[in-house]
Amino acid sequence: MKKIVIIAVVAVVLIGGSVGLTVFLLGGDEEAAAQEGAEAATEAGGEGNAGGQGDASKAIYHEFHPNFVVNISDQRKTRYLQIDLAAVAYKQSHIDALKNHMPAIRNDLIVLFSSQEAKPLRTQEGKETLRQQALESVRKVMEAKHGEAAIEEVYFNKFVIQ
């Protein structure tokens, strides 16, 4: 019985020590970091972009939520593809237009993603090809609905085949 208690105490001390050390090493003065970030934003041109006109050097990212989850074909069985996607623009007005036309954009992306086969997507080239196709799909909808392509890039934040 004493052995079990001693082992439990040692385990708790080791776990607590490792958590404490991790927090100490990875933690920092978050308040000072946030203040420095706010000062940098102010120096770089203020807190916001007036009239939807963004600074051409500042990318604005928009993540698509919820993630895309579709069935894809495989020779042996049906598989699932989960994609977390983000789009990049340089004007807030373009991100606003993207959000406004999200149902049409999501529809075309779901059709694109669900038409894929699992085998090519296992390679880097296959993923890059799909990313380029997704970009073209988003740009096509934006061009038709908004009058300009407006979106510079799309990126996969998560890409899972099950």
**DSSP states of 52-119 as a string?**
G---TT--EEEE-SSPEEEEEB-SSS-EEEEEEEEEEESSHHHHHHHHHTHHHHHHHHHHHHHT-BHH
Q: How far apart are CA 43 and CA 100, in angstroms?
A: 31
* φ, ψ for residue 149, nearest 5 deg: -65, -45
**Model confidence pLDDT, tens digit, residues 108-156:** 999 999 999 999 999 999 999 999 999 999 999 999 999 999 999 999 9
Neighbours of 143 (CB within 10 A): 13
Q: Are 89 and 151 in contact (CB under 8 A)?
A: yes
**Model confidence pLDDT, tens digit, residues 66-77:** 999 999 998 888
**Model confidence pLDDT, tens digit, residues 18-66:** 665 455 555 544 333 333 433 333 333 333 333 444 455 799 999 999 9
Q: What is the pLDDT of residue 12?
A: 65
Q: How far apart are CA 72 and CA 138, in angstroms?
A: 20
Domain 52-161 in CATH 3.30.479? The answer is yes
CA 95 to chain CA mean position, Å: 15
**Model confidence pLDDT, tens digit, residues 5-20:** 788 766 666 676 566 5
**Model confidence pLDDT, tens digit, residues 83-115:** 999 999 999 999 999 999 999 999 999 999 999
Q: How far apart are CA 115 and CA 39, in angstroms?
A: 47
Domain ranges of the chain: 2-43, 52-161
